[in-house]
Amino acid sequence: MREQIEGMLEKLTSPAGDPPASTEPTLETFQGDLENHLLREILPGMFYAPEASPEAMDAELRFRTFMAPHLYPADVERMVGLVPSIRHGESVAVRQLELLVRKAVALQREDWKTLDSLRKDLGEG
């Protein structure tokens, strides 16, 4: 039990800038339904963790690590910025997040027709 406690304390005291030593896939290496993975596995951790809690910070770090290869870092920031509004149940924010996720998926799949449509829906062009 002492080793477990020391391990937990070590995780908490390590600098936040350290890259996670995980073998989790990223946006580039993920195999499967990317949209579903983001909306059901990655993002909910940020919505349901108490605001500014270690769990919320871990969830955000996991999301940012996963999204690191994304071609539009500003989109990643927009997604993170929508989290407080989504926590408060704002449907417009949920819709924006869904569109941004679909945009990331379209970019990954090089689906330019869908990407063009999504950009219009997002007011980007």
Q: What is the pLDDT of residue 102?
A: 96
Give the rounded percent of residues in the chain with a pLDDT score beyond 70: 86
This prediction has a pTM of 0.78
**Average pLDDT, integer, range 32-60:** 92
Q: How far apart are CA 60 and CA 54, in angstroms?
A: 10
Q: How far apart are CA 99 and CA 43, in angstroms?
A: 14
Q: Please state the domain extents for the chain.
A: 33-121
Residue from 116, 108, 103 nearest 69 by CA: 108
Q: How far apart are CA 106 and CA 112, in angstroms?
A: 7
Q: What is the pLDDT of residue 93?
A: 95
- In tens, the pLDDT along 15-43 reads 554 554 557 889 989 999 999 999 999 99
Residue from 124, 121, 16 nearest 72 by CA: 124
Q: What is the pLDDT of residue 3?
A: 74
Q: How far apart are CA 93 and CA 95, in angstroms?
A: 5
Q: What is the pLDDT of residue 4?
A: 72
